[in-house]
Amino acid sequence: MKNKKVTLLLGLHSHQPVGNFDFVFEEAYRKSYLPFMEVAGKYPDFKFTVHFTGALWEFFEDKHPEFMDIIGEMLAKNQIEIVISGFYEPVLAAIPEMDRRHQIKKSLSYIKKKFGTRPSGLWLTERVFESDVLKTLVDIGLSYVVVDDYHFLQAGISDRNLFGYYYTESEGKKIGVFPINQTLRYLIPFKKPEEIMDYLKWVRDNAPSDAACIFDDGEKFGVWPGTFEWVYEKGWLKEFIELVLASDFVETDTYSGYMKKRKPLGRVYLPSSSYFEMGEWSLPSDVAVKFTDFVDYLRKNRMFEANRMFIKGGIWKNFLVKYTEANIMHKKMIFVSNLVNSYEGSKKGRALLHLMRGQANDAYWHGVFGGLYLPHLRRAVYSNLLTAEKMVSRDIFVRDDMDADGYDEVYMKNSKLSVGITAKDGSIYELSSMEKGINFQDTLTRRFEHYHKDVEVKEEGKQDEAKSIHEIKRYVSSRVKKEMVYDWYERRSLLFHILPPDTTVSMLRYMKFRELGDFVNMPYNLRTDRAKRTIYLHRNGGIYTENGNYPFEVAKKVVLDGNTVSFTLNTKGRVPFTLLSGVEFNLHFVKPVFRLKDAEYHGNAEMFEGKGDMLVIEDEYFGIKLEFVCSEECGIWVYPVYTLSQSESGMDMVYQGSSIIFTYPLKHKIFNVSLKMEE
């Protein structure tokens, strides 16, 4: 086998989420996309495959048209091949079949229009494979799809037989599937070129076939911590390319080029899966702790690699169970998709574009990158979905189990506002300005994540060498550690608390308060009046204290009228001592200013306790004013909500919004509060 050559199939998947900051696009272009092409372009015999998502193509066209010329020149030289995905990088398995076709066909038509070629391959977003996606791909006529080697291992194919491609089929229509080599994913570009060449020699000498496949993030080549210096300033990429081209046993090719020269290794049917790490991230956090402990045990006892094919975590759709906010956003997307795809008016094309942007995958899940934890990504999803919804619908009033949890929701919308209420806990899960395209209810519950168990306190920690983001140690300051607080209820709005009279805003912020009632996370009876745009919620519950238990009732009424939502809380029951009522709202802001009488507070940094019957909130970023008006003077408490999540650079403390609590003595009484939104 010494005379056999290894074909290196190098693919770069480059992506920025819809809604990411402009400076992030620009930095990635300057530190990764452009320098890679500039270096590689000097070696036209070094062939590789590229994938850019729709948000990046639009960015290149708008800001850097010269990059489009570079791509065109490299295509003309047959140095590169372009593959596609859904245009705005959705997880194809998570969107309706009709929308898969819209997304893929948009990618195909875009590349054809800009570069005069029809791509034949598909980068499968996050390598989330399900059999119903396969049917879409073969029906559209794609020749191959790139997935992970882990898919093949789970199908019982040994790792030594993963150096080529296989055929799979749907209803007799076949498509090639390439396995991405995990070893190469961890070697490139983090190890020295000589070490990578040694591995390719091993492939030559030990594998029965000859393709070494890697298709991984383009951002690894310059954006990930320490990689710009390593890849370009210290010359890793130049040295690697020159070693490959000088080698007598390695050749390079594109994926479609390789398929034209080689037959498939066989036939395969793949399970629903993604890459190995995704299985860890998608598990419930307490289970993920056990999973990682088990994997660590196997590694320490040198049992992991031999048994990796039998070790499986969760699947991508588990994120819709793990994070209620992801599920709400996903079901909103499904709801809007149905509206858009059934609409036949002149705005359908533009509405479909916004729907597709609202399907961008990043905000729907969380792994090693911020994802769901990044408010600006969720904000972009909601903005696009709300814009599409506004284009194709007028007033809406619908009752259904929209989030598939067994409890009915009611969603009502006019031209100004939309409100979603769930019977599961009598709370608001959506509160949107239709004019601005903002869901102010888009907050995030503070949860334990399995990687929190490894967080260490260090006042000044710096990553001083290039490492894979999977290897970075997690440090936080003592201030950040203090914000590692976990909520026992979903952080929604119109929550009704019954509290001891000595409760403070700080106790609420850090979850050190006692809840005496059962009205926060328990079911309510639900009824509606469509004509009056009114929702009624009612719960017979109780108050539970050391001095005894007392029956108690809470009724909530929600009325939508123009740009105002009115809330009425009617409480019935008596206790022989003083307690405190608390009506809680959790709302999404960026840079809010809270005005209470003559006082002013900046809510993304401060918490405060005040009194009054009116609270005004202005957010300059959104260009909108919210005005709460209460039926009587009450306590008004506000605190910021922070989450702690891992990212490519370590750990991030992120402002998710503010909690607003209106407090008053618990009595047999009616309390009204209205919320008005104005530009």
- Report if residue 627 sits inside a domain: yes
Instruction: Region of 567 please: left (phi>0), alpha (psi -120 to 50) or beta.
Output: beta
| Domain boundary residue, one of 244, 274, 304 | 274
Residue 462 confidence (pLDDT): 47
Residue 668 confidence (pLDDT): 83
Residue 472 confidence (pLDDT): 55
Q: Are 237 and 91 in contact (CB under 8 A)?
A: no
pTM above 0.85, yes or no: yes
Do 90 and 237 have their domain in common?
yes
Which residues, in sequence order, are bridge partners of residue 122?
Answer: 84, 145
User: Can you tell me whether residue 301 is helix, strand or coil?
Assistant: coil
DSSP H stretches of helix in 42-190? 54-63, 65-76, 97-115, 131-140, 149-154, 182-187
Do 260 and 115 have their domain in common?
yes
User: Can you tell me whether residue 93 is helix, strand or coil?
Assistant: helix
CA 125, CA 51: separation in Å to the nearest integer?
Answer: 11
With 80 as the cut, is the pLDDT of residue 107 above it? yes
Query: Which residue is catalytic, options 73, 217, 515, 553?
Result: 217
280-298 core/surface letters (b: 16 or more CB in 10 A; e: else): bbbbbbeebbebbeebeeb
- Report if residue 333 sits inside a domain: no
Percent helix, strand and coil across the chain, each rounded to 5? Answer: 35, 30, 35
Per-chain mean pLDDT for the chain: 94
Non-local (6+) Cβ contacts of 301 within 8 A are none
DSSP H stretches of helix in 147-275? 149-154, 182-187, 193-206, 227-228, 236-246, 255-261
Query: Which residue is catalytic, options 81, 89, 99, 126?
Result: 126
Number of domains making up the chain: 2
- Report if residue 583 sits inside a domain: yes
Domain span holding position 151: 6-274
Read off the pLDDT of residues 494-550 as tens digits, 9 standing for 90 and up: 999 999 999 999 999 999 999 999 999 999 999 999 999 999 999 999 999 998 999
- Report if residue 372 sits inside a domain: no
Residue 604 confidence (pLDDT): 80
For the segment 227-235, the average pLDDT, to the nearest whole number, is 97
Which pLDDT band holds residue 212 (cuts at 50, 70, 90)?
Answer: very high
Do 512 and 655 have their domain in common?
yes
How long a stretch of residues is the chain? 679
CA 23, CA 7: separation in Å to the nearest integer?
Answer: 37
CATH code of the domain containing 84: 3.20.110.20
Residue 470 confidence (pLDDT): 47
CATH code of the domain containing 566: 2.70.98.10
For the segment 321-340, the average pLDDT, to the nearest whole number, is 98
- Report if residue 441 sits inside a domain: yes
Do 480 and 613 have their domain in common?
yes
Do 267 and 404 have their domain in common?
no
- Report if residue 112 sits inside a domain: yes
Read off the pLDDT of residues 584-604 as tens digits, 9 standing for 90 and up: 999 999 999 999 988 899 878
Instruction: Measure the CA angle with vertex 441, ends 615 and 639; round to 5°.
Output: 50
| Domain boundary residue, one of 258, 274, 290 | 274
- Token look-up 């999404």 returns 588
Which residues, in sequence order, are bridge partners of residue 430?
Answer: 420
- Report if residue 494 sits inside a domain: yes
Do 576 and 436 have their domain in common?
yes
With 80 as the cut, is the pLDDT of residue 648 above it? no
Residue 598 confidence (pLDDT): 81
Residue 3 confidence (pLDDT): 67
Instruction: Region of 66 please: left (phi>0), alpha (psi -120 to 50) or beta.
Output: alpha
Question: How much of the chain, in percent, has pLDDT values that exceed 70?
Answer: 97
Q: Are 87 and 360 in contact (CB under 8 A)?
A: no
Whether 126 is catalytic? yes
| Domain boundary residue, one of 250, 274, 298 | 274
Do 105 and 244 have their domain in common?
yes
Read off the pLDDT of residues 63-106 as tens digits, 9 standing for 90 and up: 999 999 999 999 999 999 999 999 999 999 999 999 999 999 99
- Report if residue 175 sits inside a domain: yes
**Nearest-CA neighbor of 426 among 555, 560, 329, 322?**
555
Read off the pLDDT of residues 271-328 as tens digits, 9 standing for 90 and up: 999 999 999 999 999 999 999 999 999 999 999 999 999 999 999 999 999 999 999 9
Helix (H) or strand (E) holding 377: helix 375-392
Which pLDDT band holds residue 471 (cuts at 50, 70, 90)?
Answer: low
